[in-house]
Structures are given as C-alpha cells and as structure tokens.
Amino acid sequence: MRRKQENLTEKEFEVLSFLGHGYSNKEIAQRMFVTEHTVKAHLTNIYAKLGVTNRLSAVLLLKKSDITPHQGLKQP
C-alpha cells in the first residue's frame, strides 16, 4: 500500500482526507477553492492510483491503511 500512497499528489491526499471525513464533492470543492469538476478529476486519479472504483472503497482503504495526509495540509 505504501507504494501506491506515495504516488498520490498533495492535492489528492487532501481530497482523500476530506472524503474520509464524509464531505461531498461540493463541500470539498468549496473548502479547496476549486470547482467540483476539479474534485472529480482528483477522485478519478485517486481511484486509479489506489486500484479502487468508488469513493466508499477509497475511504475504506484509507481507514484500513496507513494513508495519512502530508504535514502542512489543512485538516478538514
């Protein structure tokens, strides 16, 4: 898992962190000051890099693994 985790960008980590806290795409977009389209693009990249197909799988993988945001990322 560590190897896949390292392939995520800081923004992808940030989106994944917000997902883990239950935020919707719209809420994530507002907090990151981006469009919902940008959030969806990040999610598509996250799913591909983690080998999952949906947000539930990504969150479950986040909860089961040692994936943590990089230091310096704002916490939700």
Label residue 31 exposed, middle or buried (CB < 10 Å: 0-12, 13-18, 19+).
Answer: middle
- Whole-model pTM: value is 0.78
Instruction: Tell me what pLDDT residue 65 has.
Output: 77
> Could you state, in order of their start, the residue ranges of all structural domains in the chain?
2-64
pLDDT in tens, the chain (76 residues): 444 555 888 899 899 999 989 999 999 999 999 999 999 999 999 999 999 999 999 988 888 876 655 533 344 4
Q: What is the CATH number of domain 2-64?
A: 1.10.10.10
The three state secondary structure string of 13-38 is HHHHHHHHCCCCHHHHHHHHCCCHHH
